[in-house]
Structure 1
Amino acid sequence: MNVISLAVITTADQKDIENVVHGASSKLTAKMFYEVAKGNGDKSFVLSAYSLLSPLALFSIASREYTQDEIWDTIGTNNDSFTKEVYDWKYNRVKSLKGVTLKTASKICLALNYDVYTDYGKGKWDSFGTELENVDFDSNVVTAREISNWVEEQTNHMIKDIVSADSVNSFTRALLVDAVYFKGQWQASFDNKLTEEKDFYINNKDTSKVQMMYRKGNYKYTKSPTLRSQVIEIPYKDGEASLVVVLPREIEGIKDVQEILKDPDVLDNIRRSMFKAEVDLYLPKFRIETTTNLKDVLEKVNFKRLFMQYGCSLYFIMRVLGNMYISDAVQKVLIEVDEGAETTPPICIGAAIHKQFQDFY
């Protein structure tokens, strides 16, 4: 039995601004999911395109020319004021979600000798929930520990050691750390006493023993010919967030499902066709932690300008001569699902982006 699970935010009122964020998230998720799946073989993985949207929006305001156009195309906006309105809404919407705890935190760490555009930062960056701080990259051991400790605190001690001492040095000019912490309680929890060890099918030949949870209840559900799968939506408390689980019809049908999900509209269309039904739900307890090379993945989906030494136009972060570009990016994601979700450390996401200047290379 192969399972794809997707955490989604659901809302009763769909406004234009909501649709922009949802559309951008769906498109970027579909592209990134396909590329990461190709590179992971039969391994389980988890990623978050949604968490990348705010840092990208933030960079769009700091960029111009082709770099800005490429970012706008990805985040679904077309000017600075609309970008600020959309992603200010996203930041405040995340803070106001009911029934779950979803915290986001971003920090741009700059070398000590770089003077930030403080007025610009206060007027633009603050609405994205992003901090700016000068740090001593020469003291790489101390600085890496301080940054990692900050991320760990923001994610309730779930994301650890996101920055290592050997990943920053005296040539590092700036570092962006982006973190998200999600904790949810099921609307209807699973009974621990009904959890038992069962076979989980890796392929037609191989199985693995897993702790399988069970609950009989009413859920939104459908059998989708388009996706060749069964699909169920498991709501969290207060119904503003849910876990959507896709179970391929065939044991080895995961590859077919991955191909179909290249279309970002497929899952939305299926969710609109779901209906309430009484379901015998068997769901494995699982914990997946994945580190993804974001630079590699984004370049494969034709998002390249931010990583081009001579093609990136990031002008409005700090007062400094030279061309700023992103040299490396990594995302670390952890998801854990169990019976109650009340005591579960569910989804934690962290991303670190290193930026350096051509003057030094």
Structure 2
Amino acid sequence: MKLVITLSLLLISLEVQCHQLPGHNDDQASQGDKTLLEHPHLSSEEQRQDSSSYLKIGPSNSDFAFTFYRNIASGVGSRNIFFSPISISAAFALLTLGAKSETQSQIHKGLAFNLSVTEENEIHKGFRHLIHALHRPDNKAQVKMGNALFIEQSLKFLPKFLEDVKTFYEAEGFLTNFTIPRAAKRQINDYVQNKTQGKIAHALEDLDPSTILVLVNYIFFKAYWQHPFDTHMIREKDFFVDANTTVKASLMYRKGYYKYLHDEDLSCWVVEIPYKGDATSFFILPDEGKLEHVEGALVKESLSKWIASFKTE
């Protein structure tokens, strides 16, 4: 259960990320995604550079997503995992705008970026393009991702840093009095609740009065299945969490044509269920007893292989 829930969201992010598949090149992307590339505040040359950078950061973001998943999956037991890797990457990439030397290098390494392959400026331009792509008003899948910095009011930040986080990451900055934790916590929680349309009401439970900076990242995702499930077909059935645990769960049913395959190397079944718009989800069902094998062997190349091998029935 853990793997299926996590990867459905993880692969939505990777689908938007558009990491390069065999035969995919920058020219094809720039010609086939003209709407996605339009940015009202950038020149044509800046848009072209952002588009190229967007494709260059894809492999690193994908590597980070799968590595991060494996790291946290190894320590949670049978609990579910639900996260957005692209949100984590964007939030920490933002911090490198204000970091230097060893700190900056460690963040880049943690995010799987190699500066000999992708220059720092390309990383930020790539994320700017990605965030703009996610926020397209014509996208039928509603995705809203953002970052905010809550800064201790007694500190002085370079104006260039605040300008850059706004330019590249659409991030907002707020002065906060952390010496009054209750008021600071309310300020941050109210902000997150507003940005997530009330879905997250208590992002922070406690706040240390010695805090000098809080980095907030939020993501809101709402989409409709391309082929909706009939609510009258929902049935309560047994769901097998693991070999020793069975729970009752509401299961959806629908007859239709979906892309699917069995990955012999990973020992799992994969089915793609598309949303309206540009988003899609991949659900992975490990063969009996093969959950840990799938978790350990899953890499970004797995996605490329699935897309090339899918059959529809």
TM-score range, shorter chain: 0.7 to 0.9
**What is the root-mean-square deviation of aligned Cα atoms in Å?**
2.2
Q: Please give the secondary structure, in 2, of the residue aligned with 1:255.
A: helix
Tell whether 2:282 aligns with 1:241. Answer: no
Question: Could you tell me whether the CA contact under 8 Å between 1:21 and 1:75 is conserved in 2?
Answer: no
Q: Which residue of structure 1 aligns with residue 252 of structure 2?
A: 213
Q: Which residue of structure 2 aligns with residue 81 of structure 1?
A: 121
Q: Which residue of structure 2 aligns with residue 346 of structure 1?
A: none
Q: Which residue of structure 2 aligns with residue 25 of structure 1?
A: 61
Displacement, 1:56?
A: 1.7
Displacement, 1:77?
A: 6.0
Letter in 2 for 1:44: N
Is the alpha carbon distance of 1:126 and 1:75 closer, same or farther for their aligned partners in structure 2, counting shifts above 3 Å?
Answer: farther
Query: How far apart, CA to CA, are the structure 1 residues paired with 2:149 and 2:199?
Result: 20
Q: Which residue of structure 2 aligns with residue 260 of structure 1?
A: 297
Q: Which residue of structure 1 aligns with residue 47 of structure 2?
A: none
Post-superposition CA distance 1:30-75 (Å, at most 9, x none) = 1111121111111222122210121222122212223223333425
Tell whether 2:8 aligns with 1:6. Answer: yes
Q: Which residue of structure 1 aligns with residue 184 of structure 2?
A: 143
Q: Please give the secondary structure, in 2, of the residue aligned with 1:39.
A: coil
Query: How far apart, CA to CA, are the structure 2 residues paired with 1:243 and 1:258?
Result: 18
Query: How far apart, CA to CA, are the structure 2 residues paired with 1:119 and 1:70?
Result: 22
Letter in 2 for 1:209: K
Question: Could you tell me whether the CA contact under 8 Å between 2:268 and 2:286 is conserved in 1?
Answer: yes
Displacement, 1:2?
A: 7.2
Tell whether 2:216 aligns with 1:177. Answer: yes
Question: Could you tell me whether the CA contact under 8 Å between 2:259 and 2:271 is conserved in 1?
Answer: yes
Question: Could you tell me whether the CA contact under 8 Å between 2:223 and 2:276 is conserved in 1?
Answer: yes
Q: Which residue of structure 2 aligns with residue 91 of structure 1?
A: 131
TM-score by length of 1: 0.70
Displacement, 1:124?
A: 4.7
Displacement, 1:21?
A: 3.5
Query: How far apart, CA to CA, are the structure 2 residues paired with 1:89 and 1:71?
Result: 21
Displacement, 1:229?
A: 0.9
- Quick one: higher RCO (CA 8 Å, sep 6+), 1 or 2? 1
Letter in 2 for 1:201: F
Query: How far apart, CA to CA, are the structure 2 residues paired with 1:57 and 1:259?
Result: 26
Q: Which residue of structure 1 aligns with residue 99 of structure 2?
A: 63
Is the alpha carbon distance of 1:246 and 1:98 closer, same or farther for their aligned partners in structure 2, counting shifts above 3 Å?
Answer: same
Query: How far apart, CA to CA, are the structure 1 residues paired with 2:2 and 2:199?
Result: 26
Q: Which residue of structure 1 aligns with residue 72 of structure 2?
A: 36
Question: Could you tell me whether the CA contact under 8 Å between 2:225 and 2:275 is conserved in 1?
Answer: yes
Q: Please give the secondary structure, in 2, of the residue aligned with 1:246.
A: strand
Moved more, 70-79 or 265-274: 70-79
The count of corresponding residues between Structure 1 and Structure 2 is 272
Letter in 2 for 1:248: P
Post-superposition CA distance 1:234-290 (Å, at most 9, x none) = 11102x11111001121x3211211112x3322332232212x22xxxxxxxxxxxx
Is the alpha carbon distance of 1:204 and 1:176 closer, same or farther for their aligned partners in structure 2, counting shifts above 3 Å?
Answer: closer
Matching of residues 273-292 of structure 1 within 5 Å: 273-275=309-311, 277-278=312-313
Letter in 2 for 1:231: V
Query: How far apart, CA to CA, are the structure 1 residues paired with 2:179 and 2:80?
Result: 37
Query: How far apart, CA to CA, are the structure 2 residues paired with 1:120 and 1:204?
Result: 51
Question: Could you tell me whether the CA contact under 8 Å between 1:77 and 1:83 is conserved in 2?
Answer: no
Query: How far apart, CA to CA, are the structure 2 residues paired with 1:30 and 1:107?
Result: 25
Choose from 268, 292, 302 the match for 1:229.
Answer: 268
Q: Which has the higher helix share?
A: 2
Question: Could you tell me whether the CA contact under 8 Å between 2:63 and 2:112 is conserved in 1?
Answer: no
TM-score by length of 2: 0.80
Q: Which residue of structure 2 aligns with residue 54 of structure 1?
A: 90
For structure 2, list consecutive stretches of 5 or more residues without a partner in the other structure: 19-27, 30-50
Question: Could you tell me whether the CA contact under 8 Å between 1:144 and 1:168 is conserved in 2?
Answer: no
Q: Which runs of 4+ in 1 moved over 4 A?
A: 11-16
Q: Which residue of structure 2 aligns with residue 352 of structure 1?
A: none
Post-superposition CA distance 1:126-161 (Å, at most 9, x none) = 320111111111111111011111101101111121
Query: How far apart, CA to CA, are the structure 2 residues paired with 1:201 and 1:195?
Result: 17
Q: Please give the secondary structure, in 2, of the residue aligned with 1:50.
A: helix
Query: How far apart, CA to CA, are the structure 2 residues paired with 1:94 and 1:21?
Result: 15
